Amino acid sequence: MNNLLKFILIEDSDDDVLLLTRALKREGFQLDYQQVQSPDDLRQALIDSSWDLIISDYHLPGFEAPEALKIVQGFELDIPFIVVSGTIGEKSAVGMMKAGANDYIMKGNLTRLGEAIRREIREGQIRVERRKSEQALWKSEARNRAILAAIPDLMFRVKPDGIYRPVVADVPTAKQDIDPLSRRGRLIEAVLPANVAQQTRRVITTALQTGELQVFEQSFTLNSVAIEEEVRVIKNGPEEVLLMIRDIRDRQAALRERQRSQEQLRRLNQNLEKTVHQRTKQLRKREAQLQELSDRLTMALESASIGCWEASLKDGSLVWDQRIYEIYGIAPGTAIDYPKCLLLVHPDDRPRLEQTIEQMLRTDEDAHLEFRICRDDGTVRILKSSARLRRNQSGEPVSLVGINLDITDRKRSELALKESEEKFRQLAEAVDAVFWIVDLVSRSQVYVSPAYERIWGYPVEELYENANAWLEHLHPEDRSRLEANPAEDLLEEYNEEYRIIRADGEVRWIRDRAFSIKNEQGQVYRVAGIAEDISDRKHAEAQLRQTNEQLMRATRLKDEFLASMSHELRTPLNAILGMTEALQEDVFGAVSDAQRHALQTIESSGGHLLALINDILDVAKIESGQIELNLSATAIAPLCESSLNVIKQQALSKNIELTLNLSSTVPQMLLDERRMRQVLINLLNNAVKFTPKGGHIKLQVTPLFGPPSHPTTASVIGVRWSVEDTGIGIAPEHLPKLFQPFMQIDSALNRQFEGTGLGLSLVKRLVELHGGEVGVTSQLGVGSCFTITLPLTGTNGSETGTTDPRVDEATDSQETESSALILLAEDNPANIQTLSSYLIAKGYQLRLAKDGAEAIEQAKLQQPNLILMDIQMPGVDGLEAMQRIRQQPWGLDVPIIALTALAMESDQQRCLQAGADDYISKPVKLKHLVTRIEELLQQGKIQV
């Protein structure tokens, strides 16, 4: 293989030139290149020499690859153009490829440069060979056209429509001169007299029916011009004949003149008879030679790429042209005779071929047949052959002349087409949908599957009679739309849904899809489609829409109920817990130990009821998809410690030992810290509840390792929490019930241990929201172990270390000496008394408003330092009041805390959007409220 690579290198960097040449040499190329750096250098290089390839950097100073590509294209040279650059972006690379570049390669990855060059050079050589073949074909066609144009006869192709069509498109002027009738492109009846036209039509019909050569002469006068013609008609295809028209006026005149001269000579000199006889014999011989040449030419004109042959009846010798040798797969020039040729015929077809030849010799009729041959390479080819018996001047048969055409590919295509049509027919009849095909030329139905009768309820025949009959069965509301957008006018695809009215009056839904079918010229000539009955789907969709509407309504009603329940329960709880908290802080005077114990009981019961409400709302929000996790990178150690602190006092009261085992390799995790703390507290609370006095509870956190990324290391893929206790245990048959809401595994336990059955249901749902799993193992009388497994996704991967985020809380001893003016907007008397008593005791000044309108008026008059706004009030509610306050210049900066018994996350968002600075859900923790008030006052929004 020649590895010499001659190329132009468009590059301004010597380092990159060295890099490219080294890469090409490593690929085994011998390099002959010229480096250019400007448009003029490139043009001169293209003029000076021929090149195998052009390699171009994308960007040179004042010269870029797109300009270089245009210069090369302007020279109309078929040279592969490859862009090799270190800075080209994907958009620029795609632009270069669209503009005509063959490939682009990054300088940082030259590994496929060699293969790309070999590929493009190889494809370029293929294009060169193809052009040579096309030029040879063009020369051959031009030679054949020249031969046809040189024949003095007029030649026309005529179909049953009777129009003269030229065989050669560009008829020379000389040949046009012998056609005074100007037949080209005209109808037979428009050219010839009626009787002559009828005779021509009859002869054409005979030639098409028999396939035999028809020869006749015709004489007539047209426009005072005497016409004498010899017409030869031969079949040139299933629906076409070839007319060869020869002007014989000169010949006929010569014949008449010769006859007259002969008569004169006979009368003048009987002695000249011998001379006249000899001349006549010579003339007939020349006519016979002309006839023989005409016959051979006629046979050659019947085909293109057809092999011609002649077989001697005397010695069986054969004369083949180049094409016949190619068809039989034999080297040109190989000696061949009839017996050897007969052996190449397929054994099953040989007797029929011999019978055809015998019949030709017996009847003197032309023969046309198809037969198979077996080539030396083992392939079987199918030939179509036409033959004619040739006689000498004495009328004796001397040879057979004929043509052979290889029709193997056509036969295979016909067979494949038949098989495809049969498969299509079987498929169309088996599928419960209507397959249809419409011809755009005739505007007629080509095919309709039998399913039309099942779906439409009308006979298929009506569509074959009228392709638009189906439009008559359209639902009136759909007809105008379908008539305005017919499938026959589609450009790419057609997809419509419409209703029909069946013959029995039933209305059905139809989905009709269609696509265009193009001919070899790329023109759409047919449209095919499939129409399917989608009534069941439409009914199901309607039913589904109705069901969804009902579900949405039920969900809305449930949300409204939960919001209402939350408000109605939290409002009295706010007074109960708030007043209890105020009493415990001696706001209304000192209380005795017995009273303090009673207040603690009230606070505990109220807290339990509040937890129950929160659990119910959380379950409802999870089930309706209203909970969104607030994910953040969370340290595991503080999370576990704070969760244990919540239940520590409860565990100490039962003398239960608490243990935390935390692996040092546990990383930070991306999770909702508040929700995860809720999960752990639920599990730990259950463990304390069901563990007898003196028991043990262990919280263990361990990493989960995946497949090792290195023989000595493995990566952490998750974290497992385990809450293990020495409690009463759970029977195996009760384990499946654990995570169902409101489910207690034993009524006896329910009486012994209080609970709603919501805790574990919440745990399961919150863990699943994090993408994790919950599991449990238990043994009666021994204890239980609840496990939580969370995947390690989106974390920073750092270990827990000593990270210890702290939560600022108001201490019991916190007091304020602020004299800030606070506007309290609240309509519930119990809440007013609770909040006002506590806030006044803390040193704040208070103004009251019992609805939104009064709150707006008081805010304008009093200019408070802070507003506490209840949301649900009569008349103007809290949301509207906040919006209207924020619209006033005096209300832009005043801090507003929204107080509401609505506990949904969407409620918080609505409050903040309306203008609140903070949101506190009822029942309000009074110490937490004071803390937030002080924070807002000290943020610089107001000056007391």
Q: Which of 438-447, 466-475, 707-716, 742-751 has the lowest mean pLDDT?
A: 742-751
Distance CA 236, CA 231 (A): 15
What pLDDT sits at residue 944? 41
For residue range 605-624, list pLDDT tens digits in order.
676 676 667 666 666 666 66
**How is residue 337 annotated by DSSP?**
B
What pLDDT sits at residue 708? 60
Distance CA 418, CA 420 (A): 5
What pLDDT sits at residue 785? 94
What pLDDT sits at residue 295? 63
What pLDDT sits at residue 2? 65
What pLDDT sits at residue 233? 92
What pLDDT sits at residue 296? 61
Do 599 and 584 contact (CB within 8 A), yes or no? yes
Identify the H or E element spanning 339. Answer: helix 338-344
For residue range 776-803, list pLDDT tens digits in order.
998 888 899 999 999 876 433 444 433 3
User: What percent of the chain lies above the pLDDT cut of 70?
Assistant: 81
Average pLDDT over residues 734-762: 62
Query: Confidence class of residue 741 from pLDDT cuts 50, 70 and 90?
Result: low
The burial class, CB within 10 Å (0-12 / 13-18 / 19+), for 284 is exposed
Residue 276 has pLDDT above 70, yes or no: no
pTM, full prediction: 0.34
Average pLDDT over residues 752-771: 74
Do 82 and 56 contact (CB within 8 A), yes or no? yes
Q: Which of 280-289, 390-399, 630-639, 695-704 has the lowest mean pLDDT?
A: 280-289
Identify the H or E element spanning 33. Answer: strand 30-36
- Going from the C-alpha of 120 to that of each of 78, 80, 88, 101, 117, the distances in angstroms are 11, 6, 21, 11, 5
The burial class, CB within 10 Å (0-12 / 13-18 / 19+), for 479 is middle
Neighbour count for residue 166 (Cβ, 10 Å) = 16
Residue 167 has pLDDT above 70, yes or no: yes
Select from 902, 179, 27 the least CA-distant residue to 911: 902
Beta pairing, strands 896-900 & 918-921: parallel
The burial class, CB within 10 Å (0-12 / 13-18 / 19+), for 47 is exposed
Q: Which of 265-269, 652-656, 811-815 has the lowest mean pLDDT?
A: 811-815
Select from 293, 299, 298, 297 the least CA-distant residue to 385: 299
- The alpha carbon of residue 285 and the mean position of all alpha carbons in its chain are separated, in whole angstroms, by 75
For residue range 404-462, list pLDDT tens digits in order.
888 888 888 888 877 776 776 666 666 678 888 888 888 888 888 888 888 898 998 88
